[in-house]
Amino acid sequence: MTPPAEQRYAVVIPAYNEVATIADVAAGAAAVAATVIVVDDGSTDGTPERLRGLPVVLLRNERNRGKGASLWRGLQHALALGADGVVTLDGDGQHAPEDIPRLVRVARAHPDDLVIGARLIGRETSPRARRRANRVADFFIGWAAGQPLDDSQSGFRVYPASLLRRLDVRHDPTRGFVFESEALIAAGRIGVRCRSVAIAAVYPRNARPSHFRPVADIARISGMILWQLARRGLHPAGLYRSLARRTREEAVTADEAS
In order of start, what are the domains of the chain with their CATH numbers? 9-257 (3.90.550.10)
Return the DSSP state at 45: S
Sheet of 194-200, strands arranged across: 57-61, 35-41, 9-15, 85-88, 157-160, 114-121, 194-200
Please tell me the predicted confidence (pLDDT) of residue 235: 84
3-class state of residue 35 by DSSP: strand
Please tell me the predicted confidence (pLDDT) of residue 199: 95
Contact between 200 and 96 under an 8 Å Cβ cutoff? The reply is yes
State the first-to-last Cα distance of the chain, in angstroms, to the nearest integer: 35
Rounded-to-integer distance, Cα 248 and Cα 169, Å:
30
**230-258 pLDDT per residue, tens:** 988 888 888 888 887 555 444 333 333 33
Q: What are the strands, taking DSSP E only, across 8-55?
A: 9-15, 35-41
**177-194 pLDDT per residue, tens:** 789 999 999 999 999 999
Q: What are phi and psi of 43, to 5 degrees?
A: -60, 150
Please tell me the predicted confidence (pLDDT) of residue 255: 36
Q: How many CA atoms lie within 13 A of 228 on its CB side?
A: 26
Contact between 157 and 67 under an 8 Å Cβ cutoff? The reply is no
Please tell me the predicted confidence (pLDDT) of residue 128: 75
Average pLDDT on 54-80 reads 96
Residue predicted with more confidence, 215 or 174: 174
Which among 126, 149, 119, 155 is positioned nearest to 25, based on CA atoms?
155
**191-229 pLDDT per residue, tens:** 999 999 999 977 766 655 555 555 465 778 888 899 889
The pLDDT-based confidence of 151 (bands split at 50, 70, 90) is very high
Q: Which amino acid is at 62?
A: E
Q: What are the strands, taking DSSP E only, across 76-143?
A: 85-88, 114-121
216-224: list long-range contacts, CB under 8 Å, 24+ apart: 217/176, 217/177, 217/178, 218/133, 220/174, 220/175, 220/176, 220/177, 220/178, 221/137, 221/177, 221/178, 221/181, 222/140, 224/178, 224/181, 224/182
Please tell me the predicted confidence (pLDDT) of residue 6: 55
